[in-house]
Amino acid sequence: MRIFIDGQQLPILVRVSHDLLTTLKTLSRSLSWGIFYDPTKEVVYINSKSSAIPVLPIERPADTSSDDPESVRLLNKSICIDAGHGGSDPGATGPTGTLEKDNNLAIALLLKEKLENNGAKVIMTRDSDRNVAYADASANEELGARVDIANDNQVDLFISIHNDAFTNANATGTTTYHYGDIESVRLSNCLQKKLIEHLGTKNRGCRYASFYVIRYTEMTAALIEAGFISNPEEEVLMASADGRMNAAQALFEGIMQYFRV
């Protein structure tokens, strides 16, 4: 349901409910505001200037992208995306030289775009190939800087994107890590399910871990290991445009499912 006051649409999208309509009507009556509800369009029009029925807006042509419910599903949600490693820290390296930091950043940038297209506020720990704390920072300083960005911005969600690696090149699959709190477990389940669906990788499940970035972030947080860069097939998957796009789409859908929008 959309709400217009004096012809201006409020930047919120709420489910139609009898309670909400009653509240709006009672409120309007007590303030001598005019109110009109159009049930076919699920729009409430409010006139705060007088108790007269509000003047209804003239129908605009089809392309009103800002009115598209799709574009505001994540309005008022803030998400910090952490592309793991970067700059002087390449992360893991694949058999043919693919760098984890590049795969992580590519997925993170694609995810950012999808979230922003749906109204979310996105904070990136990095949006280029660089260290987050400062050039050549230590691993601990890097992790601390990422946590600080999420905490200082008081985001709703923190999602750290990584590729896995192991000495045995046969290891494959996708894992999502959480620090055990109920909301982070729920987020991890949403992300993991979608990643498996979209990537077609082996499901290594959601697991508890005490990784710094999910332990010290003060909000719901998850760290995903999208696939094993040390496995030749998954290295190709993580380095390919399709694989990266599928991973980003999966994370996007998982976030939408987590917020139940």
Residues in touch with Zn ion (CB under 5 A):
84, 91, 162
CB 161: neighbour CB atoms within 10 A?
A: 26
Spell out the residues 6+ positions from residue 173 whose beta carbon is closer than 8 angstroms to its own: 164, 201, 202, 203, 204, 227, 228
**Percent of the chain as helix, strand, coil, to the nearest 5:** 40, 20, 40
Q: How far is the CB of 254 from Zn ion (least distance, A)?
A: 19
For Zn ion, which is the closer residue by CB, 91 or 243? 91
- Shortest distance (Å) from residue 80 CB to Zn ion: 17
Token pair recorded at residue 80: 């910090």
Instruction: To the nearest 10°, report the CA torsion of 85, 87, 92, 96.
Output: 140
Q: How far is the CB of 100 from Zn ion (least distance, A)?
A: 5
In the block, which residue shows the tokens 């800087």? Answer: 145
Q: How far is the CB of 225 from Zn ion (least distance, A)?
A: 7
Among residues 162 and 178, whose Cβ is nearest to Zn ion?
A: 162
Cβ-based nearer residue to Zn ion, 37 or 211? 211
Smallest distance from Zn ion to CB 101, Å: 8
- Residue sitting closest to Zn ion (CB): 162
CB–CB of 260/187 below 8 Å?
Answer: no
Q: CB nearer to Zn ion: give 73 or 130.
A: 130
Alpha-helix residue ranges (DSSP H) falling in 38-99: none
The smaller minimum CB distance to Zn ion, of residues 45 and 177, is found at: 177
